Amino acid sequence: MNVGFSERADLNYYRMEEEEEEEQEEQEGGGVVVLMVVVMVVVVVMKVVVVMEVVVVMEVVVVMMVVVLREIVESVYGSGIPGSMNGTRTETQDNTTNRDERGWGSDRIKAECNTGEGKARRELNSTPTRHRQLF
């Protein structure tokens, strides 16, 4: 194939145009990939934000449930939960720690102060409740 000068120039021109178009497509394609990556990052961030909002909402719901349950318990047991440190009801208020195994109160124990039985009873009452079961 013997091609003339003008035909060669035309072929070179078309080749150069095709190469420029390919380069533009590659550059545009790179832009599309970057745009897709940016969109994916935004979607992931939005999902994380939604999950965090759900966690915060769940925390608020749990706190509200605890507050409601505490109000119910306080309405049933009085102004404090039995055995709690900040409650108003303790073991000494219902007078169980001042009674011995027969139900006698502290007056009976005071009357028997000088006898051995009274002293043993006082020592029994002075021990903590969890140790009483051992004796």
pLDDT in tens, 19-60: 887 777 666 656 677 778 888 898 888 888 888 888 888 898
- Lowest average pLDDT, out of 14-18, 85-89, 105-109, 130-134, goes to 85-89
Cut 0.95: pTM above it: no
User: Quick one: pLDDT at residue 64?
Assistant: 92
User: Is residue 128 situated within a structural domain?
Assistant: yes
Q: Which of 117, 91, 120, 121 is nearest to 105 (CA)?
A: 121
Distance, in Å, from the CA atom of 88 to the CA atom of 77, rounded to the nearest integer, reads: 10
Q: What share of the chain is helix, strand, coil (3-state, %, to 5)?
A: 70, 0, 30
Number of domains in the chain: 1
- What is the residue whose two structure tokens read 């001042």? 98
pLDDT band at 65 (very low <50, low <70, confident <90, very high): very high
Judge contact between 118 and 112, C-beta under 8 A. Answer: yes
User: Quick one: pLDDT at residue 104?
Assistant: 53
Judge contact between 112 and 100, C-beta under 8 A. Answer: no
- Lowest average pLDDT, out of 7-21, 90-104, 109-123, goes to 90-104
User: Is residue 115 situated within a structural domain?
Assistant: yes
Total Cβ atoms within 10 A of residue 57: 10
User: Is residue 106 situated within a structural domain?
Assistant: yes
Q: What is the mean pLDDT of the chain?
A: 69
Please give the C-alpha separations between residue 55 and each of 41, 45, 50, 51, in angstroms, as whole numbers. Answer: 21, 15, 9, 6
**Residue 117 in this model has a pLDDT that exceeds 80:** no
User: Is residue 110 situated within a structural domain?
Assistant: yes
- Lowest average pLDDT, out of 79-83, 96-100, 109-113, 124-128, goes to 96-100
User: Is residue 15 situated within a structural domain?
Assistant: no
User: Is residue 129 situated within a structural domain?
Assistant: yes
Judge contact between 105 and 99, C-beta under 8 A. Answer: yes
**Residue 15 in this model has a pLDDT that exceeds 60:** yes
> Whole domain around residue 108: which residue ranges?
94-135
User: Is residue 82 situated within a structural domain?
Assistant: no
User: Is residue 13 situated within a structural domain?
Assistant: no
**Residue 125 in this model has a pLDDT that exceeds 80:** no
Region 86-101: mean pLDDT is 49
Distance, in Å, from the CA atom of 82 to the CA atom of 87, rounded to the nearest integer, reads: 7
Judge contact between 77 and 88, C-beta under 8 A. Answer: no
Please give the C-alpha separations between residue 60 and each of 47, 48, 49, 52, in angstroms, as whole numbers. Answer: 20, 18, 16, 12
